[in-house]
Structure 1
Amino acid sequence: MSDEKARPIIWARPPRSARGPQPALTLDRIARAAVALCDAEGPDALTMRRLAAELGTGTMSLYRYVQSKDDLIDLMVDLTFEEIDRPAHPDWRGGLHWLAHQIRARALRHPWAAQVDAPYFFLGPNGIEFLEYLYGIVDGIGLDIDEMMRAINLVYAYAEGAVRQELAAERRAAASGAGEEEWMRAHSAYVRSLMGTGRYPLMQRVMLEAEQPHMTPEENFEYGLQRVLDGIETWLPGSGTRKSG
């Protein structure tokens, strides 16, 4: 096993010694500066050198606190979960509906968060507190612990996947200087030429009949979310369609 794989996650490392002068930086200050930088300029702007400059310190000094960019991203993603309130919910469906919209809102506030990998965020102080809260939403409704995990993971995966598509469309529109409908109109002649071949009858039906392309991002997100929640409801005891495994 390499040193990289053996290195403990940042929250598991021993704290800096209390002896000597107080450290000039804290992990919280570093994470907040990194989040602000990525919010303003996107994830490509984030380098240890650039962040050190934003903090008014040297790059090597920054490495005394975070050993890699992966450490930094874990800290940043964990910090974003601090923003999310933990309200009480009267029922599981309302709670999971709230969860999905919170994930979407978080990604829209911090678009970079949908473009980075942070596999250990749930072990950070905010991430693990958030997960504990989420499991409370589906506790006591007749699901076993594996089904509780699957319910949370399913809603989370749907919300993240949907908002990634939404953000990708926004980036495409920004790159082309046109809105989504303008972009589609600009490519309509090419699409019509494909449909005119007769080789894509189902795609032609999509172009002519489907309502989804004309939904707003919010409507599209909500439409898919309700189907996900409908599926989870079939897992509940007494649903008449409950299946194990």
Structure 2
Amino acid sequence: MTKATEVPPYLRIVAGIRRRIAEGELGIGDPVPSTRRIAREWGVALATATKALTVLRLEGVVETRPRVGTVVAGGGRVEGRDAGASGAFAASSGPAPVSSSTPSSAPELSLERIVRAGIEIADAEGLAALSMRGVAARLGVGAMSTYRYVPSKDDLVQLMADAAFAEEGYPAPGEGPEGWRARVELGARTLWVLHRRHPWLAQLASLTRPLLVPGLMVHAEWVLGALDGHGLDPVTLFDIHVLVYSHVQGLAAHLEREAHAQGDTGQSDQEWMDQRASAVRALAESGRFPTFAGLVREFEALEGGYDLRLDALFESGLTALLDGLAPVVERRRKL
């Protein structure tokens, strides 16, 4: 193959995924490989993998679903489009079939579009898949175009977080639930909703090095305001705010980790556990962990066994946390 007719790597990936769909290896609704898996399988950069998925998405062959990833679309057409490196694409040195992303038809590039594209990538693939080149590929612009608006990936992530946290607000002053507890519950649940929607938010900062963006400060102000005026000293007041936030962030961190694990292994958490049933049984039958062994026997007797539900853990944990804090807040108020 001459250099003039050599197929770009992203088009070979596009052809390979089309072929898998056409041959029935991937059906409607099935997840296609994530950008990380494509990068490993094809030996390309993440930006190249993102560009390949963007081509397929623009043609309607695949679609992106938050926290599921990229799946085969119901209306995607692949008939006669599954040529490999020696087929139709190899015979043409023309541009990629992505006319909807050409400068003449694409919306004007803006900071808002760049931030939104970054959020879409992080929602679907996780922060590990995010790159400035990947954002540019998703928007159908030159690799360096985004740098005119955002200096670096770190700056982009800050802007993405600010925008994501700002998606949910609170009642106006004088409105909303009465009482410190109901208001703190509203703040915690609002943060949980946002972390559920954008699990990568939990990966951005630690408690000791917090994320300092206005969008997140809105939520901090709401919880601090709910606790203010109850006679709490400044350290105790702020500590309670940190405890509430850490409850949300600590559980939400597992949302992103599970998404990464599923993307890397192709297994759901249940499938992963099913494959390790013998290891669990060996621990239970070792005689060293009698309480654990008893629970395993009880779970085996239950229909469906034990199901770890993060939403339920969030609610029960929040109740326990506020039950424990109630005497502190209310005692100080009475003094």
For the superposition of Structure 1 and Structure 2, which TM-score range results when normalised by the shorter chain? 0.7 to 0.9
Give the whole-Å Cα distance in 2 for the aligned partners of 1:81 and 1:75: 10
Deviations 1:82-114 (A, max 9, x none): 111212231221122222222221122112223
Task: Say which is worse superposed, 217-226 or 177-186, in terms of deviation.
Answer: 177-186
Q: Tell me the amino acid that sits aligned with residue 89 of structure 1.
A: P
Q: Which residue of 2 aligns with 1:235?
A: 328
Give the aligned partner of residue 33 of structure 1: 117
Higher mean alpha-carbon deviation, 32-41 vs 181-190, is at 181-190
Q: Which has the larger radius of gyration?
A: 2
**Contact preservation (8 Å) 2:202, 2:249:** yes
Q: 2:165 aligned to 81, 84, 97, which one?
A: 81
2:330 and 2:179 map into 1 onto residues whose CA distance is 15
More helix by share: 1
Given that 1:32 and 1:76 are in contact with CA atoms closer than 8 Å, whether structure 2 keeps it comes out as: yes
- Match for residue 275 of structure 2 among 168, 186, 203: 186
Could you tell me how far 1:142 is from its partner in structure 2?
A: 2.3
- Name the counterpart of 1:225: 318
In structure 2, do the counterparts of structure 1 residues 99 and 163 end up closer, same or farther at CA, with 3 Å as the change threshold?
Answer: same
Per the TM alignment, residue 175 of structure 1 is displaced from its structure 2 partner at its CA by 5.6
| Cα distance, 1:56 vs structure 2 | 4.6
- Residue identity opposite 1:225 in structure 2: L
- After superposition, the Cα gap between the structure-2 partners of 1:102 and 1:182, relative to the gap in structure 1 and judged at 3 Å, is same
One-letter amino acid matched to 2:249 = E
What is the aligned partner in structure 2 of residue 103 from structure 1? 191
Match of 1:197 among 281, 286, 296: 286
Alpha-carbon distance in structure 1 between the residues aligned to 2:265 and 2:140: 36
**Higher RCO (C-alpha under 8 Å, 6+ residues apart):** 1
User: How far does residue 146 in structure 1 lie from its aligned partner after superposition?
Assistant: 1.9
- C-alpha displacement at 1:25, in angstroms? 5.2
The answer to whether the aligner puts 1:63 opposite 2:147 as a matched pair is yes
Q: Which amino acid aligns with 1:191?
A: V
1:179 positional shift: 5.0
Structure 1 residue identity aligned to 2:323: D
Say whether 1:147 aligns with 2:236: yes
Gaps of 5+ in 1: 1-23
Unaligned runs of 5+ in 2: 1-107
3-state SS of 1:72 partner: helix
Equivalents in 2 of 1:158, 1:92: separation in Å?
Answer: 18
Aligned length: 217
Distance 1:186 1:96, change over 3 A: same
Letter in 1 for 2:156: L
Letter in 1 for 2:170: R
1:81 offset after TM fit, Å? 1.4
Residue by residue over 1:27-82, the C-alpha shift from the partner in whole angstroms, topping out at 9 and shown as x without a partner, is 43332221122223332331111212334544434323322211111111111111
Q: Specify whether residues 81 and 200 from structure 1 end up closer, same or farther in structure 2 by C-alpha distance, changes over 3 A only.
A: same
- Residues 213 and 175 of structure 1, relative CA distance in 2, 3 Å threshold: farther
Percent identity of equivalent pairs: 35
- In the superposition, relative to structure 1, how do residues 58 and 163 fare at CA in structure 2: closer, same or farther (>3 Å)? same
Determine the C-alpha separation between the residues in 1 that align with 2:151 and 2:295.
50
1:51 is matched with 135
Letter in 2 for 1:46: L
Asked whether 1:216 is paired with 2:304, we answer no
Cα distance, 1:56–1:117 mapped onto 2, change above 3 Å: farther
1:140–1:113 CA distance, 2 compared to 1 (3 A): same
Output the CA distance in 2 between the equivalents of 1:208 and 1:141: 48
